Amino acid sequence: MCKLIVLDDDQIQHLIIKRMLKNYEQLNDANTIYSTDGYSILDFLKTHKTDESILPEILLMDLHMPKLNGWKFLDSLEVLYPQLIKPITVYIISSSIDPKDIKRCNKYPFIKSYLVKPVTKEALNPIMKNIH
């Protein structure tokens, strides 16, 4: 069962989040997927779109990534989203403080919030409380 996906091309960001997640009993390495590749995450979501027990509850993702950048990922997710058996709450975690990026994220109804890196424990607490 996957509860959380972290999509970020920065392995250090993976390590930071992994360490912070140790404080949450409901999360562990067995139910968290870390990826640097948006294509593989889209494939995962497409493959499991009708399996509620496998789809994550939350997706934490970066915007500026090689191969498939966050905007293209979000556009693809927007098409796939209505086919998902359960909603996935998306949180953007980006180093960008550009108001245009934040405003652009508002066009996607499945994005819950925009967090600026580095992510703090205080920023993660309300997100992780929503995971069952």
**Would the pLDDT of 120 be above 70?**
yes
**Would the pLDDT of 104 be above 80?**
yes
Tell how far CA 10 is from the center of its chain: 14
Using DSSP, state whether 34 is helix, strand or coil. strand
pLDDT at 70: 94
The predicted model gives 105-125 an average pLDDT of: 91
Q: CA-CA distance, 46 to 50, in Å (whole number)?
A: 9
- % pLDDT > 90, the chain: 63
Q: How many domains are there within the chain?
A: 1
- pLDDT confidence band for 131 (50 / 70 / 90): confident
CATH number at residue 52: 3.40.50.2300
Global pTM value? 0.92
**Would the pLDDT of 112 be above 70?**
yes
The predicted model gives 35-64 an average pLDDT of: 95
**Would the pLDDT of 21 be above 90?**
no
pLDDT at 22: 81
pLDDT at 1: 59
The predicted model gives 53-82 an average pLDDT of: 94
User: What domain range is 99 assigned to?
Assistant: 4-128
Query: Torsion angle of alpha carbons 113, 109, 87, 11, nearest 10°?
Result: -40
Report whether the peptide linkage leading into residue 118 is cis, meaning its omega lies within 30 degrees of zero: yes
**Would the pLDDT of 59 be above 70?**
yes
